[in-house]
Amino acid sequence: MLSCKEASRLVSQSQDRRLGWRERMALRLHLAVCDACREFSRQMAWLRQALRHFALRAEQDETVRLPSEAAERIRRALHGHD
């Protein structure tokens, strides 16, 4: 029987690689009887989704702009190159 510590590692790694057959069975068995790790597993899936939303929002957030001093500095650096 996996410990919660081992189970949490497998849950994380399942997002990065295909687990082996034994690992999948062991994890499934653990999750079947462990509420805490089942919740953890749900949260890991959700976290991945949340990060993707977060990235889209950050890239589209028009209140975040290149600071004007930086823009001026860049403009000067670009002159002579175009």
Partner 1 sequence: MTHISGDALLVEHGDYLYRYALLRLRDPHLAEDAVQETLLAALSAKNGQGFAAKSAVRTWLTGILKHKIIDHFRRAQREAPLPDGEFSDGDLPPGMDDFFLEDGHWTEPPSSLGNPAALLEQQQFWGVLQTCLDRLPKALARIFLLREIEEKENEEICKELEVSTTNAWVMLYRARMGLRKCLEMNWLGDRNAEL
Question: Could you tell me the sign of the dihedral formed by the alpha carbons of 5, 27, 30, 39, in that order?
Answer: positive
- The amino acid occupying position 18 is R
Rule CB under 8 A: which of 8-67 touch partner 1?
8-9, 12-13, 15-17, 35-36, 39-40, 42-44, 46-55, 57-62, 64-67
DSSP string, 46-65: HHHHHHHHHHHHHHH-TT--
Footprint of partner 1 (CB under 8 A): 3-6, 8-9, 12-13, 15-17, 35-36, 39-40, 42-44, 46-55, 57-62, 64-67, 70-71, 73-75, 77-79, 81-82
